[in-house]
Chain A
């Protein structure tokens, strides 16, 4: 073995071919750029979360719940902030949050807002920036409000305007420009209004028992004790239905969420990298095809298969290195762009820094992918016979019996599975992803075989000569059918799948728009004695409203005779606890896991959550009965008949005939499940997990909600304002505002997803160009010969069009059918979204792909048309 020969040959051989190897460089670069940009960004994100975690919470720990803090907790906080041995003293600040209607008399603007009444001192860490600057500190002086900028837009108001909240009047003193831990888009759903805690009673908004959240933020004398304190108090606080959170809890939750985001983005990068790998394989294949004569000569002169193989492997790796470096540089640039795309979607300000790990991994994987994907075509070098110097051989014999080829193939499969598992960080999901890739490649390959076989057997011999000629090219020796169908098909598949997932996810959100006479305005928190008044005002305004729907908060006391929690004390049950927070949810999962293989126990969350149920005797049009029968006839003496949402029934592990006892504000109400409903939650409508037959809850404490529709924004504003003036506790949601907020989030998310899809598109196009170029030489020869024999350029062109159109159509069709299946599977099992096939858009995509194939194919064959026949015949050696 002669290493210097290999190196010399590799160097000299690449001189003239470097331009051709550019495709390999670009393929690798596209994949590596995606990898470096995305992994680097994720790493930056993680670092930023670590650095800003304290500011996210604004304190060392917080205690929160849905009721005022009892004496016990006040005492606990006092001890927590008491001076420690070193003489340091802690601090505590209360924040009370609830929803309410804000009204600006000058502009008559009215909007549902999140009121946050804060005590001085909060936040202890991080700074809330205001515009004009420095107004946060003076908030405590009273009579002032600091609001989200979106509120000013919504109310058409400005700083200095008077804002009424309930019966309180405030001067809008500033807008918030930055709050640590703030997800930018969140404020568009419920703009926040910060007021001083001392001003809260003046609003008189809390007396109606609406949903209030109480939080206590504590700065400890010794912050390092936070976690210990939290762990020791967590259980006893939970019994009181309070949760305690620390900086560390927040950091972990965020890290989990960001890991998921990172994994998803990582898949996008992986797709780009795999496409890049395909590009490498096709570039190498093309390169080797052009080198067959040289290889045969070298073999003839006595070079061993190993020497020749190594010389070309060295070239491929050198180009792979170059591609990786270019990709890494490109990736670093794109990494700087990504935070701009995600700016309003992330809770931290991402600080951009070069992530050495991401960089190294990117370059390393780029090299690895080059090696693994180049290996299969390169191994063919070993089978080039020296005999080819005497007789022109078209192609090295396929290496079906070559153990090294099989080994390389195995390495490729293992690499793809390995890369997927590492990138997704989950063995099962990674394997599924890789398996999916394998199935797609297999189906595409079979499809191309099918096309070749089918054409051969049932050749459309009645077609005009030029079309026949073009189609025959698809099965003639050294045809490009397999390569192009695989390359184009795979790229098209990935693009179409990405498109379908996006379409279905976004459709899920966009569904139930305000059209079609559906309600677009909801009034809630209506007290029973206000109901008639509200309805009268709606009627007066000429608005049709459904009869108010009662809502009764309740908890589960027992399921199928099994007590799920100690009977709540009277004091506790007078309060309401909202939907689960992250902590409780996590707890529930742990409990499920502890249960191991035992029969499924009722899920923690479904059992412990607060249910806001209603009672009525008919189904609404957003519900469908899937099991049991709806109750008819008068109520008997037995347990109340109820109907459950099918998801909740599953979660609770109950079916028809099972008993559930409810704790309705301290009163035990027995019930029996008589039916199960499927609910379309996508509609803007009042939907309930649990519906009681009427006659049971009529006297229970309840609030009412009603829906109406007003087409004109002015009318919607006016009625909200009037009702807010007369009944300050009644809140309203304007669907069009929600719709706008959702659209703005979706637009941002879509932009980010589209940008990432560009990586795949870029890599896919390179692959396509590579695949088409593979057969270019052959086409050149044929085209020139045909011209020599008297074919006009137009005729040659038509032959090419027939060939590339057939290839494009086959690849695009197979890819789209596959992606329709993959999209369906993803929607069903991963995103749990309903599936819709946008036929029109997919047809457009197919046309686009066929056009792209034609374009690339004709472009790469343009030489045939341009050059005089003689010139090519002369250089054709």
Chain B
């Protein structure tokens, strides 16, 4: 489903060359659940961005469901994301000017598909069926993240990227979100890639990559 080979990212900052990711190679099968962990600055988020095609690597390549991201233009990558990829962010990133349901509709509408009913279904599924006309500011953090989950799954993505999905939530709300996400992951057969600091959460993933200084220092597959 997702492969990367020799993935390297370097930045020039203040005249110095900074290697953020160094020669990362791994593959993830369809329906897999990968947790990327590591201390701050270890390159987790950079790796996630590269895997999702949000940025171009300095070297190496990413193949997403058979498509080589390096060979695509930015807009082609966007279309690929619209078709196959979902996102959940640490700070939710709901669009503040859209209602909960409209936020959930966006991915479907981008593809030109009928959206209202499915969006409503998903909102009901995450327990917010009666809040669909509320704006993000009228929702709590946990609720916002649930809307974000509904948005991530509404287009039945084959691949879901989550960046510290519980990072802004308290432990109880966070674990609720995790349950929900894992359940949806199972129901939709989605491949899940998640960056997290949360040991408990990482422990629930089938596979865990630990990064340090831009390199994989541990690659564990749970039975």
Which residues of A approach B to under 8 Å, CB–CB? 2, 4-5, 8-9, 12-17, 293-294, 296-307, 385-387, 389-391, 875, 877
Contact = CB atoms under 8 A, between A and B. Distances in A.
Contact of A294 (B52, B85, B95, B112): B95
A655 to B, nearest CB: 69
Q: Ordered nearest first, which 8 A-B pairs have the shortest CB separation? A: A302-B82, A302-B81, A16-B97, A386-B54, A304-B75, A387-B54, A2-B112, A297-B93
Contacts of B96: 16, 294, 877
B54 A5 contact: no
B97 A15 contact: yes
Interface in B90-136: 91, 93-98, 102, 106-107, 109-112, 135
22 contacts: A2-B109, A8-B109, A13-B97, A297-B94, A297-B95, A300-B81, A301-B81, A301-B106, A302-B78, A302-B79, A302-B80, A302-B111, A303-B78, A303-B110, A305-B78, A306-B75, A387-B49, A389-B87, A389-B89, A389-B163, A390-B48, A390-B89
A301 B75 contact: no
Given A294-B97, A300-B87, A389-B54, A4 B78 contact: no
A5 B109 contact: yes
Nearest to A295: B95
B54 A385 contact: yes
A299 B79 CA distance: 9
Given A5-B110, A8-B109, A877-B91, A13 B98 contact: yes
B211 to A, nearest CB: 15
A299 B52 CA distance: 11
* Residue with the greatest number of chain B CB neighbours at <10 A, chosen from A2, A9, A293, A304: A304
B81 A298 contact: no
A4 B113 CA distance: 10
A454 B34 CA distance: 51
Contacts of B151: 301
A390 B163 contact: yes
B47 to A, nearest CB: 10
B74 interface: yes
A17 B74 CA distance: 28
A9 B103 CA distance: 10
Nearest to B92: A877
Contacts of B106: 9, 298, 301, 303
B198 interface: no
Contact of B112 (A5, A13, A297, A306): A5
Contacts of B163: 389-390
Nearest to A8: B109
Nearest to A305: B75
Nearest to A388: B54
Contacts of B74: 305
* Residue with the greatest number of chain A CB neighbours at <10 A, chosen from B48, B78, B102: B78
Interface residues of B, number: 35
Contacts of A299: 54, 78
Contacts of A15: 97
Given A302-B83, A389-B93, 15 more contacts: A2-B109, A4-B112, A8-B109, A12-B97, A14-B97, A293-B93, A298-B95, A301-B107, A302-B82, A303-B110, A305-B74, A385-B55, A389-B89, A390-B49, A877-B96
Contact of B78 (A9, A294, A304, A387): A304
B45 interface: yes
A387 to B, nearest CB: 4
Contacts of B81: 300-302, 386
A710 B109 CA distance: 88
Interface in B7-62: 45, 48-49, 52, 54-55
Nearest to B137: A875
Contacts of B102: 12
A362 to B, nearest CB: 31
A17 B97 contact: yes
A4 B93 contact: no
Contacts of B48: 390
Contact of A302 (B55, B85, B97): B85
Given A12-B102, A301-B87, A302-B85, A390 B112 contact: no
A296 B74 CA distance: 13
Nearest to B45: A390
Contact of A304 (B45, B79, B94): B79
Nearest to A302: B82
B34 to A, nearest CB: 17
Contacts of B137: 875
A305 B73 CA distance: 11
Given A15-B97, A302-B79, A389-B87, A307 B110 contact: yes
A294 B97 CA distance: 9
Contacts of A305: 74-75, 78
Contacts of A300: 52, 54, 81, 87, 93
Contacts of A391: 45
A4 B115 CA distance: 12
A12 B98 contact: yes
Nearest to B82: A302
A211 B98 CA distance: 82
A180 to B, nearest CB: 61
Contacts of B91: 877
* Residue with the greatest number of chain A CB neighbours at <10 A, chosen from B87, B93, B107: B93
Contacts of A387: 49, 54-55
Nearest to A307: B110
* Residue with the greatest number of chain B CB neighbours at <10 A, chosen from A294, A297, A301, A306: A301
Contacts of A303: 78, 82, 106, 110
Contact of A386 (B78, B98, B107): B78
A432 B75 CA distance: 42
Nearest to B148: A297
Nearest to A5: B109
B141 to A, nearest CB: 10
A387 B54 CA distance: 5
* Residue with the greatest number of chain B CB neighbours at <10 A, chosen from A16, A294, A385, A877: A877
Nearest to A293: B93
B57 to A, nearest CB: 12
B107 A4 contact: no
Nearest to B109: A5
A5 B94 CA distance: 17
B134 to A, nearest CB: 13
Contacts of B112: 2, 4-5
A8 B52 CA distance: 26
A305 B110 CA distance: 12
Contacts of A875: 137
A426 to B, nearest CB: 45
B120 to A, nearest CB: 16
Contacts of A389: 54, 87, 89, 93, 163
A298 B109 CA distance: 11
B82 to A, nearest CB: 3
A306 B78 CA distance: 11
A607 to B, nearest CB: 72
Contacts of A2: 109-112
A389 B75 CA distance: 17
A544 B157 CA distance: 104
Nearest to A13: B97
Given A304-B79, A391-B45, A4 B85 contact: no
Given A305-B75, A390-B49, A4 B109 contact: yes
A238 to B, nearest CB: 74
Nearest to B106: A301
B115 to A, nearest CB: 9
Contacts of B82: 301-303
A35 to B, nearest CB: 32
A391 B94 CA distance: 15
Contacts of A297: 89, 93-95
Contacts of A302: 78-83, 85, 107, 110-111
A877 B79 CA distance: 27
A306 to B, nearest CB: 7
Nearest to B152: A301
A397 to B, nearest CB: 13
